[in-house]
Amino acid sequence: MPKVMPIYGTRPEAIKVAPIVQALQADERFECVVTVTGQHREMLDQVNELFGIEPAHDLDIIQPRQTLNGVFARTLDGLDAVLEQERPDAVVVQGDTTTSTAAAVAAFNRGIRVVHAEAGLRSFDILSPFPEEANRKITGQIAALHLPPTRVSRDNLLREAVRSEDVYVTGNTVIDALMEAVAAQVPFEDERLAELEASGRRVVLVTTHRRENQGDAMRGVGRALARLARAHEDVTFVLPAHRNPVVREAVLPALEGLGNILVTEPLAYGEFTHLLSLSTVVLTDSGGVQEEAPSLGKPVLVMRENTERPEAVTAGTVRLIGTDEERVVAEVSRLLEDELSYRAMSTAVNPYGDGRAAERTVSAIAQLLGVGERLPEFEDGVSA
Just list the catalytic residues. 96, 118, 132, 209, 211, 242
Cα(154)–Cα(135) distance, integer angstroms: 17
Q: Burial level of 25, CB count in 10 A (0-12/13-18/19+)?
A: middle
- Residue in 10, 40, 38 with CA at minimum distance from that of residue 118: 10
In DSSP notation, 132-149 reads: HHHHHHHHHHH-SEEE-S
Kindly list the distances between the CA atom of residue 142 and the CA atoms of 77, 102, 108, 210, in Å, as whole numbers in the listed order.
Answer: 19, 11, 7, 26
- Residue in 177, 160, 117 with CA at minimum distance from that of residue 364: 117
Write phi, then psi, for 142 (nearest 5 degrees). Answer: -120, -5
Contact predicate 252/263, CB 8 Å: yes
DSSP three-state, residue 116 = strand
SS (H, E, C) 154-191: HHHHHHCCCCHHHECCCCCHHHHHHHHHHHHCCCCCCH
- Residue in 86, 82, 78 with CA at minimum distance from that of residue 62: 78
Residue 333: count of CB within 10 angstroms of its CB: 14
Strand partners, 277: none
Contact predicate 58/52, CB 8 Å: no
**Cα maximum dimension of the chain:** 61
Cα(196)–Cα(237) distance, integer angstroms: 11
Contact predicate 78/49, CB 8 Å: no
What type of residue sits at position 359? Answer: E
Q: What is the Cα 278 distance to its own chain's centre?
A: 19
Contact predicate 42/269, CB 8 Å: no
What type of residue sits at position 86? Answer: E
Write phi, then psi, for 267 (nearest 5 degrees). Answer: -90, 140
